[in-house]
């Protein structure tokens, strides 16, 4: 397999996080923006289908192996919503503030505030790879109405971790990477690549 992998994202944080674990294995990770690859459509109802579509799109346009992720927060009382719509839960333009407000409002009448972050990573060796490498991670917590913490992004200020008595936004970057859904999925991927 080519040692250069296209990250089907332009997120600098993801590039750094993924690069730290994949670099020691000899992989050189580059963002799709470096190849002028536009963002892929994400029309599917599942995380794995969206991640696969993004990976195939980046691979097809660059001719290189590609890695994509799809992730979101899933509230149990809402049947897994916002789920794949996490980034656009309150509509366009994307807004963490409005997304969080909508989630809190929809959970207000629910006794069950449990939720989990879910991430799926998909690596394709080429655009038509019949056996993509797939890795998943899940991080359980509860949704709290009052935001806490300055770190993280998205739903982190409302994602309460009972065992730590903190929200995800109150964790250091190192703590979050060690425990998070994305960190878990990335470690599974690394083990599969070894």
- Please list the residues that pair with 140 across neighbouring strands: 116
Candidate list 69, 70, 129, 156, residue with the active-site label = 70
How many whole angstroms separate alpha carbon 175 and alpha carbon 129? 34
Tabulate helix, strand, coil % of the chain (nearest 5): 40, 25, 35
Is 70 noted as a catalytic residue in this protein?
yes
Cβ neighbours of residue 21 closer than 8 Å, sequence gap 6 or more: 186, 187, 190
Give the sign of the dihedral formed by CA 24, CA 188, CA 141, CA 78: positive
Residues recognised as catalytic: 70
């Amino acid at each position: 397999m080519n040692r250069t992998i296209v990250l089907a994202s332009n997120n600098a944080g993801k590039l750094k996080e993924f690069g730290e674990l994949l670099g020691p294995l000899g992989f050189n990770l580059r963002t799709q923006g470096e190849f002028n690859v536009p963002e892929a459509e994400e029309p599917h109802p599942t995380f794995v289908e969206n991640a696969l579509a993004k990976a195939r799109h980046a691979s097809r346009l660059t001719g290189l192996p590609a890695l994509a992720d799809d992730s979101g927060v899933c509230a149990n009382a809402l049947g897994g919503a916002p789920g794949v719509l996490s980034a656009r839960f309150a509509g366009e333009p994307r807004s963490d503030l409005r997304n969080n407000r909508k989630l809190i409002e929809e959970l207000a009448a629910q006794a069950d505030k449990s939720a989990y972050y879910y991430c799926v990573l998909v690596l394709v060796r080429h655009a038509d790879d019949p056996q993509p490498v797939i890795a998943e991670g899940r991080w359980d917590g509860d949704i709290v109405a009052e935001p806490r913490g300055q770190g993280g992004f998205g739903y982190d200020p409302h994602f309460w971790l009972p065992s730590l008595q903190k929200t995800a936004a109150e964790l250091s970057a190192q703590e979050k990477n060690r425990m998070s859904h994305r960190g878990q999925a990335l470690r599974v991927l690394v083990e599969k690549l070894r």
